Structure formats: structure tokens, C-alpha cells
């Protein structure tokens, strides 16, 4: 591909902050010319855009763990793609790279900035996997499970949003470390996948239980020895149910609370369990633990390359579909890692 300044870069920007649920109106499409590169820069053409729950938090103006996404700025997001123009000696046209290019077709990146762009091997691992199991979601699973939960062989790990990019990896890693893996997911299809394809020991369809008692009963049957580790992506009533099954000295890695992203209150019903079971509950953000990324990515890459770690993707076609795909993700309509294919 040859590029001239006549090329336009289609972008999606945050048009307005959501009040309650995200709507398509919160986004706007924009076309911008691609600027000329200066020394040290590369131009990346994005093949895939990653959609992740954390983006919802950035859309709010309130206190969060990261600065809010600015209005009229390109939506933040992980991307994989290829170098299509370069003014950096270490990057050649055609290199496959992963970065944080955002919701747009192209990004101009200062390649000298640490972590801004990273070359990846696509011989053994598909390019898109670097946005999922061999990327941020995979390292998130790895860190929360192995550094916070630290399950011992024979212990029971429960993970919510179990068929998602993070949850699917959590359960497979838990099995690999000799633990019992129990997933919680929405719908029989996702649960069947979690057990039959990913190899979890059990999966509970929370949508089948509108009442807390029913959810608890099925959870109890699936965790006869109690729960030693909860990897939490959702929060709310499902978390409450699992907490009531925790064993003494259980660990809870709080990775996400997607059930409260729209501002609904999501109280924890019985925090007294923290005391009576001597629980340790820890929130974490994987980007604050960069020291583990090399080891985690190595292990995850090996797992994917050898077929030991499986994953599934839901792929939206074209950048114009990114907003509706993102809204679908927030409502659990994706199945596995949600991507947008741009090329």
C-alpha cells in the first residue's frame, strides 16, 4: 500500500458521555487526513481493534482509575496491525505490531516511546490473539489468578464472565495449575462452550436463576468443597452468591464490575464474610504490573501456539460497527473476545 496525504483516516470519537447505558449517540464518526511522519515515527494500519469493558469506565467523567476519555478525542483502544510507513530504523514496512492505536483505521506512533508499539510473531500466534489471550486480557487473567489468587492444586477457582477473553483464560490457567475451575456465564450456549471446549469442571448459567436461592443452590452443587478463589469480572448478585461459598482464607481478585458500569448501585450484601472467612479481596489493573508482562505473555503465547489454551472471538466487520459491537459487549452479546476487523 502506498500512502499519500490524500488518504483519510476514519476515526470514532467520544461525542458525549453516557447517562446510564451507552447509546450509539455517544459516538461520532470522523475522517481526518493522515499527517506526514516525522523522525522516529511509524504509521500503523490497524487490522483489528480490541473492545474491552474498561472502556466503559473511561467514558464517565467521574473518579476512576484512569483519566476519563476526552470528548471529541479518538476512543482509546488496543490495536494490532502492520507498519505501512516508517521513519524508525527498528521498524520496517510489513512488520506486525500491537499497540494502543484507538478506534481508527491508522495511527501515527512515536516508536521511541516505551511500550507504544511492539513487534509480534504471527507465525505461531494469530495476529488477533495479541488483543486477547496473548494480550492485555490474557495478562489480566494471568496476574489476577497467579499473583492474587495463587490457587493451590485441588483448590476451587470460580470466575465470572467465564466465556469472555479474560474469564476463559482464567479457567484454563486454573486447570493447568491443578485447580478445579467453575465458570459463571450468561446462557446455556456459553456454559456449554466453557465446559466442553475450554475444559472447565462446571459452569453456571446465571440467567437461569433470577432468584438468589436458586443461584446459590447450583453454585453449591458445583463447588462441593467451597470456593478458594473468586476471579470477579461482574459484581453484584453473582458476586454475593460466590462470596457466600468462600472458604476460610479465600482470595478474591477484583478485575471488573461490569454490572455497575452504568451507575447502578451494586452493593455487596454481606461484607461480614470478609471477617468471618478472613478473606483477602484485591482490586487490580494489569497495566500497573508491567513487570509480569514478559513472563505472562511468554506463557500465554506458548499456550496458544501449542493449542493448550483455546479462545473464541466475536468479530464485528468495519470500524463503523464498533459502537454497536461495544454496546453488545457491555450487554454480554459477544461470545469470547470482541474484536472489530478493519481490513
Spell out a b/e string for 168-187, using b for 16 or more CB atoms within 10 Å of the CB, else e.
Answer: bbbbbbbbebebbbbbbbbe
User: Least Å distance between CB 239 and a second copy?
Assistant: 8
**Secondary structure class of 195 (helix, strand, coil):** helix
**Residue 335 C-beta: closest distance to a second copy, Å:** 24
Site for a second copy contains 73 (CB under 8 A):
no
Number of Cβ within 10 Å of residue 4's Cβ equals: 8
Task: Provide the mask over 247-286, with x wherever binding to a second copy is found by CB under 8 A and - wherever it is not.
Answer: -x-----xxxx--x----xxxxxxxx-xxxxxxxxxxxx-
Report the site for a second copy in 317-336 (rule: CB under 8 A): none
Positions in 83-112 near a second copy (CB under 8 A): none
**Residue bearing cell 500497573:** 288
Nearer CB in complex with a second copy: 40/283: 283
In angstroms, the CA 32 to CA 73 distance is: 12
* Shortest Å distance, C-beta 293 to a second copy: 17
Which CB, 19 or 112, lies closer to a second copy?
Answer: 19
By the rule CB under 8 A, 159 interacts with a second copy: no
Asked if residue 87 lies in contact with residue 39, where contact means CB atoms within 8 angstroms, the answer is yes
Give the x-and-dash track for 164-193 against a second copy (CB under 8 A): ------------------------------
- Partners of 180 in the beta sheet? 156
Decide if residue 63 touches a second copy (CB under 8 A).
yes
The distance in angstroms from the start CA to the end CA of the chain is 12
**Least distance to a second copy, CB of residue 78, Å:** 19
| Nearest residue (CB) to a second copy, 283 versus 332 | 283
**Smallest separation, CB 297 to a second copy (Å):** 22
Cell numbers for 117, please give them. 508499539
Contact 71, 14 (CB under 8 A): yes
Closest to a second copy by CB, 229 vs 281, is 281
Q: Distance between alpha carbon 150 and the CA centroid of its chain, in Å? A: 20
C-alpha cell at 55: 472502556
Measured from the CB of residue 170, what is the shortest distance to a second copy in angstroms? 16
Residue 161 region, left (φ>0) first, then alpha (ψ -120 to 50), else beta?
left
Should residue 288 be labelled a site residue for a second copy when binding is judged by CB under 8 A?
yes
How many other β-carbons are positioned within 10 Å of the β-carbon of residue 110?
14
Q: Which residues contribute to the site for a second copy (CB under 8 A)?
A: 57, 63-65, 235, 239, 248, 254-257, 260, 265-272, 274-285, 288
Amino acid at each position: 500500500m502506498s500512502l499519500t496525504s490524500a488518504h483519510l483516516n476514519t476515526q470514532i470519537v467520544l461525542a458525549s458521555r453516557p447517562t446510564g447505558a451507552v447509546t450509539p449517540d455517544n459516538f461520532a464518526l470522523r475522517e481526518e487526513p493522515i499527517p506526514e511522519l516525522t523522525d522516529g515515527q511509524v504509521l500503523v494500519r490497524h487490522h483489528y481493534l480490541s473492545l474491552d469493558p474498561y472502556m466503559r469506565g473511561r467514558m464517565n467523567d467521574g473518579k476512576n482509575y484512569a483519566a476519563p476519555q476526552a470528548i471529541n478525542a479518538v476512543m482509546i483502544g488496543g490495536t494490532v496491525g502492520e507498519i505501512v510507513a516508517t521513519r524508525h530504523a527498528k521498524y520496517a514496512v510489513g512488520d506486525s505490531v500491537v499497540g494502543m492505536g484507538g478506534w481508527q483505521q491508522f495511527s501515527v506512533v512515536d516508536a521511541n516511546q516505551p511500550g507504544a508499539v511492539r513487534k509480534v510473531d504471527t507465525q505461531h500466534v494469530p495476529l488477533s490473539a495479541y488483543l486477547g489471550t496473548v494480550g492485555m486480557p490474557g495478562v489480566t487473567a494471568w496476574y489476577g489468578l497467579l499473583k492474587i489468587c495463587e490457587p493451590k492444586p485441588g483448590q476451587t477457582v470460580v470466575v465470572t464472565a467465564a466465556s469472555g477473553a479474560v474469564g476463559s483464560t482464567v479457567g484454563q490457567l486454573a486447570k493447568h495449575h491443578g485447580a478445579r475451575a467453575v465458570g459463571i456465564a450468561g446462557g446455556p450456549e456459553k456454559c456449554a462452550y466453557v465446559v466442553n471446549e475450554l475444559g472447565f469442571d462446571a459452569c453456571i448459567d446465571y440467567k437461569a436463576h433470577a432468584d438468589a436461592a436458586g443461584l446459590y443452590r447450583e453454585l453449591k452443587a458445583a463447588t462441593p468443597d467451597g470456593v478458594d478463589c473468586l476471579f470477579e469480572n461482574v459484581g453484584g448478585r453473582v458476586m454475593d452468591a460466590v462470596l457466600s461459598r468462600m472458604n476460610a482464607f479465600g482470595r478474591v481478585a477484583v478485575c471488573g464490575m461490569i454490572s455497575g458500569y452504568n451507575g447502578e448501585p451494586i452493593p455487596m450484601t454481606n461484607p461480614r464474610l470478609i471477617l468471618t472467612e478472613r478473606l483477602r479481596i484485591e482490586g487490580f489493573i494489569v497495566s500497573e504490573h508491567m513487570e509480569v508482562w514478559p513472563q505472562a505473555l511468554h506463557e500465554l503465547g506458548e499456550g496458544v501456539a501449542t493449542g493448550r489454551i483455546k479462545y473464541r472471538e466475536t468479530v464485528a466487520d468495519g470500524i463503523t460497527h464498533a459502537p454497536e459491537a461495544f454496546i453488545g459487549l457491555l450487554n454480554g452479546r459477544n461470545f469470547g473476545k470482541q474484536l472489530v476487523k478493519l481490513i
